[in-house]
Protein backbone atom coordinates (compact mmCIF):
# COMPACT_ATOMS: atom_id res chain seq x y z
CA UNK A 1 0.00 0.00 0.00
CA UNK A 2 0.95 3.65 -0.44
CA UNK A 3 0.64 6.12 2.42
CA UNK A 4 0.35 9.74 1.37
CA UNK A 5 1.24 12.10 4.19
CA UNK A 6 -0.45 15.48 4.54
CA UNK A 7 1.44 18.64 3.58
CA UNK A 8 1.58 19.60 7.24
CA UNK A 9 2.93 16.24 8.45
CA UNK A 10 5.93 16.60 10.74
CA UNK A 11 9.12 14.56 10.58
CA UNK A 12 8.08 12.85 13.81
CA UNK A 13 4.77 11.78 12.29
CA UNK A 14 6.52 10.39 9.20
CA UNK A 15 8.88 8.44 11.45
CA UNK A 16 5.96 7.12 13.50
CA UNK A 17 4.25 5.76 10.38
CA UNK A 18 7.46 4.02 9.28
CA UNK A 19 7.88 2.49 12.72
CA UNK A 20 4.33 1.15 12.64
CA UNK A 21 4.85 -0.42 9.23
CA UNK A 22 8.10 -2.07 10.24
CA UNK A 23 6.53 -3.35 13.44
CA UNK A 24 3.88 -5.00 11.26
CA UNK A 25 6.58 -6.81 9.30
CA UNK A 26 6.50 -4.59 6.20
CA UNK A 27 9.36 -3.08 4.25
CA UNK A 28 9.37 0.69 3.87
CA UNK A 29 10.25 2.86 0.88
CA UNK A 30 10.32 6.60 1.60
CA UNK A 31 9.88 9.20 -1.15
CA UNK A 32 10.16 12.80 -0.01
CA UNK A 33 9.05 15.33 -2.60
CA UNK A 34 9.01 19.10 -2.45
CA UNK A 35 5.41 19.25 -1.23
CA UNK A 36 4.59 15.77 0.05
CA UNK A 37 6.07 12.67 1.58
CA UNK A 38 4.93 9.30 0.24
CA UNK A 39 5.64 6.05 2.04
CA UNK A 40 5.47 2.70 0.26
CA UNK A 41 4.71 -0.33 2.40
CA UNK A 42 6.13 -3.52 0.88
CA UNK A 43 4.96 -7.00 1.81
CA UNK A 44 1.80 -8.93 2.61
CA UNK A 45 -0.69 -6.94 4.63
CA UNK A 46 -3.48 -7.97 6.98
CA UNK A 47 -6.96 -6.50 6.27
CA UNK A 48 -7.01 -4.47 9.48
CA UNK A 49 -3.68 -2.73 8.81
CA UNK A 50 -4.95 -0.14 6.30
CA UNK A 51 -7.47 1.54 8.65
CA UNK A 52 -4.91 1.36 11.46
CA UNK A 53 -2.33 3.25 9.38
CA UNK A 54 -4.96 5.65 8.01
CA UNK A 55 -5.77 6.68 11.59
CA UNK A 56 -2.17 7.70 12.39
CA UNK A 57 -1.45 11.41 12.79
CA UNK A 58 -0.23 13.13 9.64
CA UNK A 59 -1.65 10.54 7.23
CA UNK A 60 -3.82 12.02 4.49
CA UNK A 61 -4.88 8.79 2.79
CA UNK A 62 -3.86 5.18 2.20
CA UNK A 63 -4.03 3.61 -1.26
CA UNK A 64 -3.88 -0.17 -1.74
CA UNK A 65 -1.61 -1.63 -4.42
CA UNK A 66 -3.57 -4.52 -5.88
CA UNK A 67 -0.85 -5.98 -8.07
CA UNK A 68 1.49 -8.53 -6.44
CA UNK A 69 4.55 -6.61 -7.66
CA UNK A 70 4.79 -3.46 -5.57
CA UNK A 71 8.11 -1.72 -6.17
CA UNK A 72 7.90 -2.29 -9.93
CA UNK A 73 4.32 -1.04 -10.18
CA UNK A 74 3.22 2.32 -11.61
CA UNK A 75 0.78 2.48 -8.69
CA UNK A 76 3.82 2.77 -6.46
CA UNK A 77 5.79 5.11 -8.76
CA UNK A 78 3.79 6.84 -11.52
CA UNK A 79 6.77 8.50 -13.21
CA UNK A 80 9.03 6.40 -15.47
CA UNK A 81 12.37 5.27 -14.07
CA UNK A 82 15.54 6.30 -15.87
CA UNK A 83 18.42 3.83 -15.71
CA UNK A 84 21.87 5.14 -16.63
CA UNK A 85 24.60 2.81 -17.83
CA UNK A 86 27.75 4.61 -18.88
CA UNK A 87 26.65 7.47 -21.14
CA UNK A 88 23.36 5.78 -22.08
CA UNK A 89 20.03 6.39 -20.34
CA UNK A 90 17.22 3.84 -20.61
CA UNK A 91 13.66 5.12 -20.27
CA UNK A 92 14.11 8.64 -21.61
CA UNK A 93 13.90 10.16 -25.08
CA UNK A 94 16.95 8.22 -26.26
CA UNK A 95 16.52 4.79 -27.87
CA UNK A 96 19.45 2.76 -26.58
CA UNK A 97 20.97 0.13 -28.84
CA UNK A 98 22.95 -2.73 -27.31
CA UNK A 99 24.91 -4.80 -29.81
CA UNK A 100 27.66 -7.37 -30.00
CA UNK A 101 28.29 -11.09 -30.37
CA UNK A 102 26.34 -13.74 -28.54
CA UNK A 103 29.60 -15.22 -27.25
CA UNK A 104 33.06 -13.71 -26.82
CA UNK A 105 35.43 -15.75 -28.98
CA UNK A 106 38.67 -13.79 -29.28
CA UNK A 107 40.06 -10.25 -29.17
CA UNK A 108 39.89 -9.60 -32.92
CA UNK A 109 36.25 -10.64 -33.13
CA UNK A 110 35.24 -8.51 -30.15
CA UNK A 111 37.30 -5.42 -30.93
CA UNK A 112 36.25 -5.16 -34.58
CA UNK A 113 32.62 -5.60 -33.58
CA UNK A 114 32.83 -2.99 -30.83
CA UNK A 115 34.46 -0.43 -33.11
CA UNK A 116 31.84 -0.93 -35.80
CA UNK A 117 28.73 -0.87 -33.61
CA UNK A 118 29.93 2.27 -31.84
CA UNK A 119 30.44 4.06 -35.15
CA UNK A 120 26.91 3.02 -36.18
CA UNK A 121 25.28 4.36 -33.01
CA UNK A 122 25.26 1.57 -30.38
CA UNK A 123 25.87 2.65 -26.80
CA UNK A 124 26.51 -0.67 -25.03
CA UNK A 125 28.60 -3.70 -25.98
CA UNK A 126 27.10 -7.11 -25.29
CA UNK A 127 29.09 -10.32 -25.23
CA UNK A 128 28.73 -13.54 -23.30
CA UNK A 129 31.65 -14.83 -21.26
CA UNK A 130 29.48 -17.46 -19.56
CA UNK A 131 27.15 -19.20 -22.02
CA UNK A 132 24.52 -21.53 -20.56
CA UNK A 133 23.47 -23.69 -23.53
CA UNK A 134 20.75 -26.24 -24.07
CA UNK A 135 23.37 -28.82 -25.04
CA UNK A 136 26.24 -29.51 -22.63
CA UNK A 137 28.44 -30.15 -25.69
CA UNK A 138 27.98 -26.65 -27.13
CA UNK A 139 30.50 -23.85 -26.59
CA UNK A 140 30.11 -22.64 -23.01
CA UNK A 141 32.10 -19.41 -23.24
CA UNK A 142 35.60 -18.23 -22.29
CA UNK A 143 34.47 -17.42 -18.74
CA UNK A 144 36.97 -15.24 -16.82
CA UNK A 145 39.19 -14.80 -19.88
CA UNK A 146 36.19 -13.51 -21.78
CA UNK A 147 35.48 -10.99 -19.03
CA UNK A 148 39.03 -9.67 -19.25
CA UNK A 149 38.74 -9.35 -23.03
CA UNK A 150 35.48 -7.44 -22.98
CA UNK A 151 36.76 -5.07 -20.29
CA UNK A 152 39.86 -4.28 -22.36
CA UNK A 153 37.80 -3.71 -25.51
CA UNK A 154 35.35 -1.52 -23.62
CA UNK A 155 38.16 0.66 -22.33
CA UNK A 156 39.58 1.04 -25.82
CA UNK A 157 36.24 1.93 -27.43
CA UNK A 158 34.50 3.79 -24.60
CA UNK A 159 31.45 1.52 -24.69
CA UNK A 160 29.74 0.30 -21.54
CA UNK A 161 29.55 -3.48 -21.06
CA UNK A 162 26.55 -5.71 -20.40
CA UNK A 163 27.23 -9.40 -19.93
CA UNK A 164 25.36 -12.33 -18.46
CA UNK A 165 25.87 -13.73 -15.00
CA UNK A 166 24.60 -17.27 -14.47
CA UNK A 167 25.38 -18.08 -10.85
CA UNK A 168 25.02 -16.24 -7.53
CA UNK A 169 28.64 -17.16 -6.79
CA UNK A 170 29.88 -15.34 -9.92
CA UNK A 171 28.06 -12.02 -9.40
CA UNK A 172 30.97 -10.40 -7.60
CA UNK A 173 33.40 -11.57 -10.32
CA UNK A 174 31.28 -10.35 -13.25
CA UNK A 175 30.53 -7.05 -11.49
CA UNK A 176 34.25 -6.22 -11.56
CA UNK A 177 34.25 -6.24 -15.37
CA UNK A 178 30.77 -5.05 -16.44
CA UNK A 179 28.68 -1.93 -16.02
CA UNK A 180 25.42 -3.86 -16.36
CA UNK A 181 24.54 -7.41 -15.32
CA UNK A 182 22.32 -9.50 -17.57
CA UNK A 183 19.93 -12.14 -16.26
CA UNK A 184 19.17 -14.54 -19.10
CA UNK A 185 15.80 -16.10 -19.90
CA UNK A 186 16.76 -19.43 -18.32
CA UNK A 187 17.60 -17.69 -15.04
CA UNK A 188 14.66 -15.30 -14.78
CA UNK A 189 13.28 -17.31 -11.86
CA UNK A 190 16.63 -18.18 -10.28
CA UNK A 191 15.67 -16.31 -7.12
CA UNK A 192 19.01 -16.69 -5.37
CA UNK A 193 20.68 -15.08 -8.41
CA UNK A 194 18.09 -12.29 -8.56
CA UNK A 195 18.68 -11.46 -4.92
CA UNK A 196 22.44 -11.44 -5.37
CA UNK A 197 22.37 -9.04 -8.33
CA UNK A 198 20.00 -6.90 -6.30
CA UNK A 199 22.67 -6.60 -3.64
CA UNK A 200 25.37 -5.83 -6.23
CA UNK A 201 23.79 -2.42 -6.93
CA UNK A 202 24.78 -2.44 -10.62
CA UNK A 203 22.10 -1.89 -13.29
CA UNK A 204 20.44 -5.15 -14.29
CA UNK A 205 19.07 -6.26 -17.66
CA UNK A 206 16.31 -8.77 -16.89
CA UNK A 207 15.25 -10.97 -19.78
CA UNK A 208 11.78 -12.48 -19.78
CA UNK A 209 11.69 -16.24 -19.36
CA UNK A 210 10.69 -18.20 -22.44
CA UNK A 211 7.46 -19.38 -20.78
CA UNK A 212 6.97 -16.61 -18.23
CA UNK A 213 3.85 -14.49 -17.91
CA UNK A 214 4.22 -10.71 -17.76
CA UNK A 215 3.33 -10.81 -14.07
CA UNK A 216 6.01 -13.43 -13.37
CA UNK A 217 8.53 -11.27 -15.26
CA UNK A 218 7.69 -8.26 -13.10
CA UNK A 219 7.77 -10.37 -9.95
CA UNK A 220 11.33 -11.38 -10.91
CA UNK A 221 12.16 -7.65 -11.11
CA UNK A 222 10.59 -7.29 -7.67
CA UNK A 223 13.13 -9.75 -6.23
CA UNK A 224 15.95 -7.51 -7.46
CA UNK A 225 14.30 -4.29 -6.31
CA UNK A 226 13.46 -5.69 -2.89
CA UNK A 227 17.21 -5.87 -2.24
CA UNK A 228 17.45 -2.10 -2.78
CA UNK A 229 18.47 -2.09 -6.46
CA UNK A 230 15.91 -0.14 -8.53
CA UNK A 231 18.12 0.03 -11.66
CA UNK A 232 16.30 -2.68 -13.62
CA UNK A 233 15.70 -2.74 -17.37
CA UNK A 234 13.22 -5.32 -18.65
CA UNK A 235 13.97 -7.18 -21.90
CA UNK A 236 11.32 -8.93 -24.00
CA UNK A 237 13.18 -11.64 -25.95
CA UNK A 238 10.35 -13.75 -27.27
CA UNK A 239 8.37 -16.54 -25.67
CA UNK A 240 7.93 -20.19 -26.59
CA UNK A 241 4.67 -20.91 -28.43
CA UNK A 242 3.39 -23.55 -30.85
CA UNK A 243 5.06 -21.74 -33.77
CA UNK A 244 8.16 -23.44 -35.21
CA UNK A 245 8.97 -21.10 -38.12
CA UNK A 246 10.82 -18.78 -35.73
CA UNK A 247 12.98 -19.55 -32.72
CA UNK A 248 10.52 -17.80 -30.39
CA UNK A 249 7.53 -15.48 -30.73
CA UNK A 250 8.14 -11.80 -30.03
CA UNK A 251 5.35 -10.70 -27.68
CA UNK A 252 4.86 -7.09 -28.78
CA UNK A 253 1.83 -6.75 -26.51
CA UNK A 254 4.04 -7.53 -23.51
CA UNK A 255 6.15 -4.45 -24.24
CA UNK A 256 3.12 -2.16 -24.26
CA UNK A 257 1.56 -3.78 -21.19
CA UNK A 258 4.79 -3.83 -19.18
CA UNK A 259 5.15 -0.10 -19.87
CA UNK A 260 1.58 0.41 -18.64
CA UNK A 261 1.93 -1.70 -15.50
CA UNK A 262 5.49 -0.78 -14.56
CA UNK A 263 7.67 2.31 -14.43
CA UNK A 264 10.76 0.31 -15.44
CA UNK A 265 12.32 0.75 -18.90
CA UNK A 266 11.58 -2.02 -21.42
CA UNK A 267 13.73 -3.06 -24.38
CA UNK A 268 13.41 -5.85 -26.96
CA UNK A 269 15.76 -8.49 -28.33
CA UNK A 270 14.61 -9.25 -31.89
CA UNK A 271 17.60 -11.53 -32.50
CA UNK A 272 16.59 -14.14 -29.92
CA UNK A 273 12.91 -13.61 -30.62
CA UNK A 274 13.18 -14.65 -34.26
CA UNK A 275 16.38 -16.68 -34.56
CA UNK A 276 16.62 -15.27 -38.09
CA UNK A 277 18.69 -12.27 -39.07
CA UNK A 278 16.29 -11.23 -41.86
CA UNK A 279 13.53 -10.66 -39.29
CA UNK A 280 15.57 -8.44 -36.95
CA UNK A 281 14.61 -5.16 -38.64
CA UNK A 282 10.83 -5.69 -38.90
CA UNK A 283 10.65 -7.00 -35.33
CA UNK A 284 12.77 -4.09 -34.09
CA UNK A 285 10.38 -1.67 -35.76
CA UNK A 286 7.39 -3.40 -34.16
CA UNK A 287 9.00 -3.27 -30.72
CA UNK A 288 9.81 0.43 -30.97
CA UNK A 289 6.31 1.22 -32.21
CA UNK A 290 4.93 -0.62 -29.16
CA UNK A 291 6.96 1.63 -26.86
CA UNK A 292 10.28 -0.15 -26.34
CA UNK A 293 13.04 2.06 -24.92
CA UNK A 294 15.81 0.24 -26.75
CA UNK A 295 17.00 -2.82 -28.61
CA UNK A 296 19.49 -5.61 -28.07
CA UNK A 297 20.82 -7.26 -31.22
CA UNK A 298 23.50 -9.79 -32.01
CA UNK A 299 26.32 -8.71 -34.32
CA UNK A 300 29.31 -10.77 -35.47
CA UNK A 301 32.00 -10.00 -38.08
CA UNK A 302 31.50 -13.45 -39.65
CA UNK A 303 28.15 -14.97 -38.57
CA UNK A 304 28.73 -18.08 -40.67
CA UNK A 305 31.62 -19.08 -38.38
CA UNK A 306 30.11 -17.90 -35.07
CA UNK A 307 30.43 -20.36 -32.19
CA UNK A 308 26.97 -19.39 -30.94
CA UNK A 309 23.75 -18.17 -32.62
CA UNK A 310 25.23 -17.50 -36.05
CA UNK A 311 21.86 -17.77 -37.83
CA UNK A 312 20.41 -14.80 -35.96
CA UNK A 313 23.55 -12.64 -35.90
CA UNK A 314 23.94 -9.64 -38.20
CA UNK A 315 27.16 -8.92 -40.02
CA UNK A 316 28.44 -5.34 -40.06
CA UNK A 317 26.66 -4.32 -43.27
CA UNK A 318 23.39 -5.81 -42.04
CA UNK A 319 23.69 -3.99 -38.72
CA UNK A 320 24.20 -0.71 -40.57
CA UNK A 321 21.09 -1.46 -42.63
CA UNK A 322 19.04 -2.09 -39.47
CA UNK A 323 20.12 1.23 -37.94
CA UNK A 324 19.34 3.04 -41.19
CA UNK A 325 15.99 1.27 -41.42
CA UNK A 326 15.01 2.41 -37.92
CA UNK A 327 15.80 6.09 -38.45
CA UNK A 328 12.52 7.14 -40.15
CA UNK A 329 10.47 5.38 -37.45
CA UNK A 330 12.46 6.97 -34.63
CA UNK A 331 11.92 10.38 -36.21
CA UNK A 332 8.19 9.75 -36.40
CA UNK A 333 8.13 8.65 -32.76
CA UNK A 334 10.05 11.74 -31.70
CA UNK A 335 12.98 9.66 -30.46
CA UNK A 336 16.65 9.39 -31.34
CA UNK A 337 19.54 6.96 -31.00
Average pLDDT over the chain, rounded to whole?
Answer: 93
Mean pLDDT of 49-53: 88
**83-333: what fold?**
TIM Barrel (3.20.20)
| Domain limits, the chain | 2-63, 83-333
pLDDT score of 207 more than 90? yes
Which CATH superfamily hosts domain 2-63? Phospho-2-dehydro-3-deoxyheptonate aldolase; domain 1 (3.30.70.1140)
pLDDT score of 45 more than 70? no
Please give the distance of CA 185 from its chain centroid, rounded to a whole number: 12
Instruction: Please report which confidence band the pLDDT of residue 173 belongs to, taking 50, 70 and 90 as the band edges.
Output: very high
pLDDT score of 46 more than 70? no
Instruction: Please report which confidence band the pLDDT of residue 85 belongs to, taking 50, 70 and 90 as the band edges.
Output: very high
Give, as one character, the DSSP assignment of residue 324: H
Of 136, 117, 97, 138, which is closest to residue 268 (Cα–Cα)? 97
Of 100, 79, 96, which is closest to residue 87 (Cα–Cα)? 96
Length of the chain: 337
3-state secondary structure 213-225: CHHHHHHHHHHHH
Instruction: Please report which confidence band the pLDDT of residue 250 belongs to, taking 50, 70 and 90 as the band edges.
Output: very high
Sequence-separated (6 or more) residues with CB below 8 Å from residue 86 = 123, 124, 159, 160, 179
3-state secondary structure 23-89: HCCCEEEEEECCCCEEEEEECCCCCCHHHHHHCCCCEEEEECCCCCCCCCECCCCCCCCCEEECCEE
pLDDT at residue 108, as a whole number: 95
Amino acid sequence: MIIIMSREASAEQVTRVQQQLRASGLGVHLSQGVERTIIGAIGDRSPELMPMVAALAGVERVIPILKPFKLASRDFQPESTLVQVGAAVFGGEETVVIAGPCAIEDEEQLLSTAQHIKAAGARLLRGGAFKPRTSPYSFQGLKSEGLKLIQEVAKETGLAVVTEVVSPHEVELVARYAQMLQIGARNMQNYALLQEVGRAKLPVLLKRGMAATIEEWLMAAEYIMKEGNYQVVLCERGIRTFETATRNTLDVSAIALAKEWSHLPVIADPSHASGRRNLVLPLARAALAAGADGLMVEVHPHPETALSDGAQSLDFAQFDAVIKGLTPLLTALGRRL
